[in-house]
Amino acid sequence: MRAPKVIISGGGTGGHIYPAIAIANALKEINPEIEVLFVGAEGKMEMEKVPKAGYPIIGLPIAGINRSSMLANLSFPRKLITSYTRARRIIKDFKPDVAIGVGGYASGPLLLAATMLDIPFLIQEQNSYAGVTNKFLAKNAKKICVAYPNMEAFFPQKKIKITGNPVRKDILEVRSKRNQALAHFGLQSDKKTVLVIGGSQGAKTINEAVDGGLTSLVNAGYQVVWQTGKLYIERALKTSEIFKGQVYASDFIYEMDLAYAIADVVVSRAGALSVSELCLAAKPAILVPLPTAAEDHQTKNAMSLVQNHAAILVKDQNAREELIKQTISLLQDTEKQGELSTNIYQLAKPDAAREIAEEVLKLVKNL
């Protein structure tokens, strides 16, 4: 009997890509013979990150709707039709037993083609507010794995399974890696560290707040690991030049397990992946939700922690004035750090990737 073939579609941001890779890894752990093919959007970060994780990927020319310029959307129908046609060809060539959609541009045409070609598929929704693509595809999905309760507002209740968000396995093992992390980032063992992550593409408000507050952080006796995103890295490197050995700045951190290992406090956006990783790493966090996220879902993600006394929230509009003060205050308050760390770990779902992989394989068995 041949091993199952699985196709995984979606991407656009790290919040879609890394859960997808975690699911693929879990499938391979269950059965190393499983064949996995990714389908992403041309020019998006999955075309770089997925091959780095060891998986093949094919790109579609799909793009999202541009809400700020209707003229920019004139080519959307053509891209959608081309992407759907290519997706059908990919499915016919690869012959998957089952498909997985993780949200993002490429999920739409791929899972639409899967529906038309009678390939069963599962949706994985990371956020507390369902994305447009996943809501549209839900009626044809066999199973919908979610991270938050009350998702029947978006999906048929009988199809929902609460699994949590899948994260990279190395995030589960950060506690033993502090010395390795200190060496990797070139920082000092006798100082507390704040980790700043604005999502895979950076966060303008957080970057500006940190840029203006580095002197205060360093003068207070702390050190910083700062993921800036590509748009801010040049400025960040200039600012951090005078703090050699105390500030590590990079546009993207691949070794997130080491970043969490070194962190005493984390400053972060409240994307679903970041929230799930913080829960598993059990790190005291200050969350600055992206206010322009669809239906303000990042604030909803953050509030799911705040209401459980598991994180601190700073509004984006207040970040430039408040973020550094709140960060230093938390770094100084060991008792508060312990409370947040304990409470956030209670919300962790360490087996999410395997649970989702098992649901995927049930669909194969049910063929």
Show binding-site residues for UDP-N-acetyl-alpha-D-glucosamine: 13-15, 127, 168, 200, 253, 272-277, 298
Q: Are residues 101 and 123 in contact, defined by beta-carbon separation less than 8 angstroms? A: yes
How many helices and strands in the chain, by DSSP H and E? 14, 13
Q: Are residues 112 and 91 in contact, defined by beta-carbon separation less than 8 angstroms? A: no
Through-space distance between the first and last CA atoms of the chain, rounded to whole angstroms = 14
The Cα 61–Cα 52 span in angstroms is 21
The Cβ of residue 95 has, within 10 Å, a number of other Cβ atoms equal to 11
Give a three-class secondary structure readout of 286-302: EECCCCCCHHHHHHHHH
**DSSP structure class, residue 3:** P
Q: Are residues 252 and 229 in contact, defined by beta-carbon separation less than 8 angstroms? A: yes
Residue 140 vs residues 105, 118, 258, 363: alpha-carbon distances, Å: 18, 10, 40, 13
Residue 211 vs residues 196, 215, 230, 232, 254: alpha-carbon distances, Å: 11, 9, 15, 10, 22
Q: Which residues contact 345 (CB under 8 A, 6 or more apart)?
A: 279, 280, 282
For 190, phi then psi, to 5°, come to -100, 10
The Cβ of residue 322 has, within 10 Å, a number of other Cβ atoms equal to 16
- Residues tagged in the binding site annotation: 13-15, 127, 168, 200, 253, 272-277, 298
Element (H, E) at 98: strand 98-101
The Cα 172–Cα 187 span in angstroms is 22
